[in-house]
Structure 1
Amino acid sequence: MEYTHLSEFEIRSGALSIWTPVLATDAWRLDDRPLTSVHAAYCASVDPADLLPGRGRWIGTVFEMDAPLDGPTWRETLRRWHARHEGLRTTVSTASAGEHRRLVAAPAAVGIGEQPVGGLTDGARINEFLRGALEERLSPLVWPHCLAATVEHADTGDFTVLVAADHSVMDAYAQAILILELRTLYREVMVGEASRESVTFGSAADFAVLERASAAELGPDSAAVATWREFLADGAMPRFAPHVKRSSRPGLPQPSVSRRLLDLDELEQLEAVLDQVRHRMSVAVFAALAVANQQRFGSNRMRSVMPIATRPDLRWMESMGWFVNVVPVDITLTPGMGISTAMEQTRGALRRSRTANDASWSRVLDLLDVTETPRFGISFLDIRVLPGYELVADLRGQALRAESYSPDEVFLWVVRAADGLYVSTRFPAGLPAEVMDEFLTAFGQALSSIAAAAAYPGPETPEPADSRTPCTDALRVVQAG
């Protein structure tokens, strides 16, 4: 399951429909539960007059449903989905002094409307149409924050599904789990079954209560604040290879690259080595990136932010919402050190970053009077923590991100998929493509060198387990921010 742009997914030709949640104007009720710190800051950063509020902001999922499209069944599927997840029935209202308050609608209040798009059946034209529609219609300030589209393929008896949302109501974990959830709901409706009930569909608003309470406890002397303070000692967020960037015309879309770094045989060989030396795959990934950074750019220090999932309890395991935090990662390598020592250094750096795991990064930056947002981020996800991950590949499931137009952001997403290890990246138009290509090549070579160094002696004891439950440890997958 790669993390790509919609433009990189080939939509097969067919009949297009847009499915939109609808509510009566009097359905909203003011809710006293707060927004999370990052949600509040995100809403405050958006211009309500922006004609393209979804530009560079929406995320989503596309897959092919292995069943024929039946309109009433699909409408009921989406209605049940919205009824189940309070986060999809939540929006914001601007109160006095620009404060954003939470509004919530009741489960039974949501209906689903269908808009067939006539005269548009070519897959490439459908793709272009959808990209424009999502930029125009998805906003953190205007509900609905989530839209769905279907493309019916009458010749093959199946249909493509696109679900896209503003980031405020969906995160990377939600992007992945919604595929099998919607597939299950569709089949339940088709055969007349009641929807599965579970305590794991917890409300994102209830999580926000805990997050804001935890954020309020942070102070200048908190360990997480100290970690961030050291990370930002030079006064700026880290950049990726700033010395190689060229000037470019403003407003250009960022290039995007996706490639497989290791096939399954190579990956399993690497994982066997990591088991021997008792390192996690995340350590290998970040160590290899630090080595590539050292080799290609001559820097012994690699600093980046790392988005992580923050679903602290089983009740949010299957929730739709924005459960994400950002932590700093600061890795320093000694010139000439081998890959085994680099992994030891990296493991120590990732352990240090854990001090910030449960501390709201937006609250920490407020305490440090830092207004700059992250410019270089790295995410790692092992797709095998997701239920039914093998079927996701069979359904052509892809996680999607909107095209970005940032002149200085670089993000990398590394995914342990069912058939190998993948990396996706977006970077400024002013960063030469050959520079990124050389860096990714060096990254892959550094990973391969770990397997080649299988004989080196590893640490004497395994990495200690922390106090999280197996569930929350698995959910602490790194996400796209």
Structure 2
Amino acid sequence: MEYTHLSDFRIRSGDLSIWTPELISPDSWHDDERPLASVHAQYLGFLDPDDPQPGRGRWIGTIFEMDAPLDERAWARTLELWHDRHEGFRTTVAPTGDGDYHRITTAPGTVRVTSAPVADLTDGEQINEFLCDVLELRLSALVWPHLLVATIAHDTDDFTVLVGADHSVLDAYSQAVLILELRTLYTAVTTGGEIRDSSTFGSPADFAAVERAAAEELTPDAPAVAVWRDFLGAPGSPMPRFGAGMVAELDGEHAQPSVSRTLLTIAELEEVEARLDQLKHRLSVTVFAALAVAWREVFGQDRFRTVMPIATRPDLTWLESMGWFVNVVPVDITLPSGADMAAALTATRASLKRAHICNDASWGRSLAMVGAMEGPTFGASFLDIRMLPDYELVADLRGRTLRAVSYSTEEVYFWVVRGPEGLYVSTRYPAGLPAEVMDRYLTEFARAMYAVTTIAAPAAAAPAADVPAALSAS
């Protein structure tokens, strides 16, 4: 599943409607003593309540084509049931008066969803531009609802669905699984089928309580904090940056360039995976080893440092939840001098094993304890889309996960995906970074991945020689 901008998705022409959640009664909100997750609280601290475009550079979402005609009443009911199911869509924040925020929540059955047709706008390209503007203007972490839905009804027996949300109520896993969840709900509503309930739709607010309790127990001498300390270096040291010293300062605000490309075709990838099976290495290890090798080839440095977002759904309670279940861990790989991919794989596996110590430790609290003066600006993640249920059907529905256009002058992120047609990457980077630098890096990344096929397979174990029984038992 490609992770891209909305502007890169070709929306077919049709009749556009915006679907907005609203409270049946404005008195439905109640104070909620459960805390905000650490990442949520940190996120709010960077926001300007007076920003006229609160979603600019922040919203995320999903777009796909529903393989059924649009029944507006059934679709409204589908979205209402979806909000009833997921408390994360029915919780928000209110100011405390001292510059902080606390949680408020509304109960199931208190949200209705209304539609507003957008008249005289049927061209797909114009719809795309309109929706990009709407999501920047209306999605905010500080103002509920934090989620909007758009539909485009076509002159065929299907319709396009766009779900846009503030990051505080959606993460990458949620973006991917919501396609089939909405499809299943809509089918049940339109056919009178059973609406499935499950113990795996746990509340992100309940998770936040667990996460904050664990964060409070974190101490400066915790093993996870030690890993972050080694990653950062001396207190106050800058975070690792991609292409440090190569990013030109530009006048004004510039959208970050975005690149998506296939790194390995399915035939090439299957060659790599076959050799990895022999070498007993995971594809995820190989991805980060190749990133480190490409780093050495392009920037001449044996030490590669980045951060890796990871899912933090600690048990089945939150398996199908909608919310922001993400932590960040440090990846710090030092390649032996002159290391080939075989040595890079060994070094990377050890580095990722050490990073695993940080999985359940709040990255924000950890960084505060080691004296970091800023947050991460360079990150990379890997997803094997085949872990998702019915991933092939998602492709048939033209499913895409979306990110907002970023305007950062420092951030660089890579999203590497193992999909049904090969291994591909999406990246965004500052406008001041020369495109040829990124192009070379991606070329070296792909070359390092395929170099796995040249690693000698381990020799088969020789059969045991015949020895006297007395010796063989010793």
CA gap 1:250/1:72 in 2 versus in 1, 3 angstroms: same
Q: CA deviation at 1:194?
A: 3.2
The answer to whether residue 403 in structure 2 is matched with residue 398 in structure 1 is no
- For residues 89-128 of structure 1, what are the structure 2 equivalents within 5 Å? 89-128=90-129
CA separation in 2, counterparts of 1:262 and 1:249? 37
Letter in 1 for 2:334: T
Give the secondary structure class of the aligned counterpart of 1:441: helix
Tell me the equivalent position of 2:21.
21
Tell me the equivalent position of 1:353.
355
CA separation in 2, counterparts of 1:100 and 1:418? 43
Q: CA deviation at 1:434?
A: 1.1
Tell me the equivalent position of 2:50.
49
Letter in 2 for 1:176: A
Tell me the equivalent position of 2:367.
365
CA separation in 1, counterparts of 2:333 and 2:76? 49
- For residues 436-455 of structure 1, what are the structure 2 equivalents within 5 Å? 436-455=438-457
Q: CA deviation at 1:368?
A: 2.4
Tell me the equivalent position of 2:469.
none
Tell me the equivalent position of 2:377.
375
The answer to whether residue 43 in structure 2 is matched with residue 38 in structure 1 is no
Asked if structure 2 preserves the Cα contact closer than 8 Å seen for 1:82 and 1:107, the reply is: yes
Asked if structure 1 preserves the Cα contact closer than 8 Å seen for 2:279 and 2:457, the reply is: no
Tell me the equivalent position of 1:258.
260
Percent of matched pairs sharing the same residue: 61
Letter in 2 for 1:33: R
Cα deviation 1:57-109 (Å, max 9, x = unaligned): 00000001011111001101100000000000010011131221111111100
CA separation in 2, counterparts of 1:164 and 1:388? 22
The answer to whether residue 234 in structure 2 is matched with residue 215 in structure 1 is no
CA separation in 1, counterparts of 2:458 and 2:268? 18
Tell me the equivalent position of 1:469.
none
Cα deviation 1:252-310 (Å, max 9, x = unaligned): 00000000111112112211111111111111000011111101111111100100000
CA separation in 1, counterparts of 2:175 and 2:263? 23
Tell me the equivalent position of 1:409.
411
Letter in 2 for 1:367: M
Tell me the equivalent position of 2:162.
162
Tell me the equivalent position of 2:471.
none
Give the secondary structure class of the aligned counterpart of 2:293: helix
Larger mean CA deviation between 166-175 and 191-200 belongs to: 191-200
Structure 2 unaligned blocks of 5 or more: 461-474
Tell me the equivalent position of 2:184.
184
CA separation in 2, counterparts of 1:294 and 1:89? 47
Give the secondary structure class of the aligned counterpart of 2:206: helix
Q: Alignment partner for residue 285 of structure 2, among 274, 283, 286?
A: 283
Q: CA deviation at 1:418?
A: 1.5
Letter in 1 for 2:58: R
Give the secondary structure class of the aligned counterpart of 2:17: strand
Give the secondary structure class of the aligned counterpart of 1:244: coil
Asked if structure 2 preserves the Cα contact closer than 8 Å seen for 1:140 and 1:166, the reply is: yes
Asked if structure 2 preserves the Cα contact closer than 8 Å seen for 1:376 and 1:409, the reply is: yes
Cα deviation 1:172-193 (Å, max 9, x = unaligned): 0000000000000000000112
Asked if structure 1 preserves the Cα contact closer than 8 Å seen for 2:94 and 2:104, the reply is: yes
Letter in 2 for 1:53: P
Tell me the equivalent position of 2:201.
201
Tell me the equivalent position of 1:473.
none
Asked if structure 2 preserves the Cα contact closer than 8 Å seen for 1:380 and 1:413, the reply is: yes
Q: CA deviation at 1:249?
A: 2.4
Letter in 1 for 2:203: S
Q: CA deviation at 1:457?
A: 6.6
Tell me the equivalent position of 2:66.
65
Asked if structure 1 preserves the Cα contact closer than 8 Å seen for 2:238 and 2:373, the reply is: no
CA separation in 2, counterparts of 1:401 and 1:345? 32
CA separation in 2, counterparts of 1:332 and 1:257? 27
CA separation in 2, counterparts of 1:15 and 1:177? 26
CA separation in 1, counterparts of 2:169 and 2:45? 15
Asked if structure 2 preserves the Cα contact closer than 8 Å seen for 1:57 and 1:167, the reply is: yes
Asked if structure 2 preserves the Cα contact closer than 8 Å seen for 1:306 and 1:326, the reply is: yes
Tell me the equivalent position of 2:294.
292
Tell me the equivalent position of 2:432.
430
Asked if structure 2 preserves the Cα contact closer than 8 Å seen for 1:17 and 1:117, the reply is: yes
CA gap 1:237/1:226 in 2 versus in 1, 3 angstroms: same
CA RMSD of aligned residues (A): 1.3
CA separation in 2, counterparts of 1:405 and 1:140? 18
CA separation in 1, counterparts of 2:393 and 2:116? 29
Asked if structure 1 preserves the Cα contact closer than 8 Å seen for 2:67 and 2:397, the reply is: yes
CA separation in 2, counterparts of 1:184 and 1:241? 45
Asked if structure 1 preserves the Cα contact closer than 8 Å seen for 2:34 and 2:205, the reply is: yes
Cα deviation 1:32-81 (Å, max 9, x = unaligned): 11000110111121110000000110000000101111100110110000
Asked if structure 2 preserves the Cα contact closer than 8 Å seen for 1:340 and 1:456, the reply is: no
Larger mean CA deviation between 257-266 and 406-415 belongs to: 257-266
CA separation in 2, counterparts of 1:195 and 1:45? 39
CA separation in 1, counterparts of 2:3 and 2:200? 25
> What is the number of equivalent residue pairs in this alignment?
458
Scaled by the length of structure 1, the TM-score of the pair is: 0.94
CA separation in 1, counterparts of 2:373 and 2:391? 38
- For residues 289-368 of structure 1, what are the structure 2 equivalents within 5 Å? 289-368=291-370
Letter in 2 for 1:55: R
Asked if structure 2 preserves the Cα contact closer than 8 Å seen for 1:277 and 1:457, the reply is: no
Letter in 2 for 1:426: R
Cα deviation 1:301-347 (Å, max 9, x = unaligned): 11001000000000100000000000000011123211100100011
Letter in 1 for 2:2: E
Q: CA deviation at 1:454?
A: 4.4
